[in-house]
Amino acid sequence: MNRKLKSVELFAGCGGMALGFERAGFHPLLLNDFDKAACNSLKANRPEWNVIQGDVSKIDFEQFQGKDVDLLSGGFPCQSFSYAGKQLGLEDTRGTLFYEYARALDIIQPKMFVAENVKGLITHDNGNTLKTIISVFEKMGYKVYSPKVLKAVNYNVPQKRERVFIVGVRSDLKDLIQWDYPTDTTKGDPLTIRDALFAGRLYDCDVPLSVGSTYNEKKKKVLDLVPPGGWWKDLPKDIQKEYMMKSFYSLGGKTGIARRFSWDEPSLTLLCSPAQKQTERCHPDETRPFTIREYARIQTFPDDWIFSGSITNQYKQIGNAVPPNLSEAIGKSIFYALKKHCFS
């Protein structure tokens, strides 16, 4: 277990997946992201990592040929693909960020790969997007396991976040490497916001002080009326209509509007902004959004993990990240699958 396995990660963000994989036993040869602030976060936390900020299409992946890379990882943004070629091959995805992930996979030829994305990828474009992705991976010589939606709350994360994972093994290794998705690691009841922010202390929140967004006076007056665990439906009818305007009459969704969390439940998915009307994430007791460090704690980042950039960008980095506890679980499952082959 002391030996590190080698990985390359694209679309690395502020390091949620990289941190979890590091704990699992991987050493990144390269991490890339276009966002400068996210890359500065990576560099601040792990100066020894090879972080390349910039356009992924400019990276020469041939430098990793013959380097016996064990894993390619990353969460490429979900985009529609063209079906003009009708072969569902790599050329049908040109111009998308998936194309760059696939290009890296084709050139580096790691033993395994893991890609993560939003749950909606399963049904995106009536399933055609996922069908294309799997077809491309298979044509590159990989056995692709059935994609699976993992619930973060099942992996020691106090949050109802769901992400789809796609994992594959190089075809020449499919009989040597036996892998399956990690079993649930949460013991007992799901972790709650209280578990996250109080960390075992009964009375005093131990989250480090930090900056955070605020509500304007109009929004604050409305959210003052919402009880812990409540939302817009707990408001008086006239305030509902005034606050929600056209949204009041629309169908479906709206579960994030005027949302105040409860101490004794897991958080809803933390998004890139905690204060917009559709994504409000109000503190259980105080009428304010969670601070940066509270956001990070709920995402299972350690308290000493540094986030660079503006407050807005820090929220974005944390909201976009894979929770380190979740990525550690899937990282360990891949590490142990590779271990027998790699250490033989």
Choice among 14, 39, 78, 282 that is catalytic: 78
Q: Is the pLDDT of residue 1 over 50?
A: no
pLDDT band of residue 294 (cuts 50, 70, 90) is very high
Query: What is the mean pLDDT of the segment spanning 104-111?
Result: 97
Query: What is the mean pLDDT of the segment spanning 158-166?
Result: 96
CATH topology match: 5-186+323-342 vs 193-320 = no
Percent of the chain topping pLDDT 70: 92
Q: Is the pLDDT of residue 257 over 60?
A: yes
Domain ranges within the chain, ordered by starting residue: 5-186+323-342, 193-320
Q: How far apart are CA 54 and CA 325, in angstroms?
A: 27
Which CATH code is given to the segment(s) 5-186+323-342? 3.40.50.150
Lowest mean pLDDT among 183-187, 189-193, 325-329: 183-187
pLDDT in tens, 261-276: 999 999 999 988 888 7
pLDDT in tens, 134-147: 999 999 999 999 99
Q: Which residues pair with 143 in a beta bridge?
A: 169
Query: What is the mean pLDDT of the segment spanning 149-176?
Result: 96
Active site residue 78: yes
Which CATH code is given to the segment(s) 193-320? 3.90.120.10
